[in-house]
Structure 1
Amino acid sequence: MDTIELLGKAQDAVTVNRVFGEPITRDGITVIPAARLTGGGGGGTGRQEGEQPGEGTGGGFGIGAAPAGMYVIKDGEVRWRPAVDINRIILGGQIVAVVALLTVRAVVRMLARSKAFRRR
Structure 2
Amino acid sequence: MSITEMIEQAKDTVSIRRVFGEPIVQDGLTIIPVARVVGGGGGGSGSGEREGDRPSEGSGGGLGFGVTPTGVFVVKDAEVRWQPAVDVNRIVLGGQIVAIAALLTVRAIVRARARTARRR
TM-score bucket of the superposed structures, by smaller chain:
0.7 to 0.9
Kindly indicate whether residue 14 of structure 2 is the aligned counterpart of residue 22 of structure 1: no
The residue number in structure 2 matching 1:5 is 5
Candidates 52, 65, 88, aligned match of 1:86:
88
1:29-48 alignment runs, 5 A limit? 29-47=29-47
The residue identity in structure 1 corresponding to 2:44 is G
Q: 1:75 is matched with which residue?
A: 77
Matches of 2:22 and 2:39, distance apart in 1 = 22
Structure 2 portions without partners, runs of 5+: none
Contact 2:49 2:56 in 1 (8 A): no
- TM-score normalized by the length of structure 1: 0.88
Quick check: which one's strand share is greater?
A: 2
Letter of the 1:77 partner, please give it.
E
The alpha-carbon deviation at position 71 of structure 1 amounts to 0.5
Give runs of ≥4 in structure 1 deviating > 3 Å. none
Task: Give the distance between the partners of 2:46 and 2:79, measured in 1 at CA.
Answer: 56
Secondary structure of 2:43 counterpart: coil
What's the counterpart of residue 115 of structure 1? Answer: 117
Look up the match of 1:55.
57
5+ long unaligned stretches in structure 1: none
Name the CA distance, whole Å, in 1 between partners of 2:12 and 2:49.
37
Which secondary structure state, in structure 1, belongs to the residue aligned with residue 61 of structure 2?
coil
Deviates more, 1:49-58 or 1:82-91: 49-58
Two-structure CA RMSD over aligned residues (Å): 1.5
Alignment length (residue pairs): 117
- Identity percentage over the alignment? 59
Contact 2:20 2:35 in 1 (8 A): yes
Q: CA deviation at 1:54?
A: 4.2
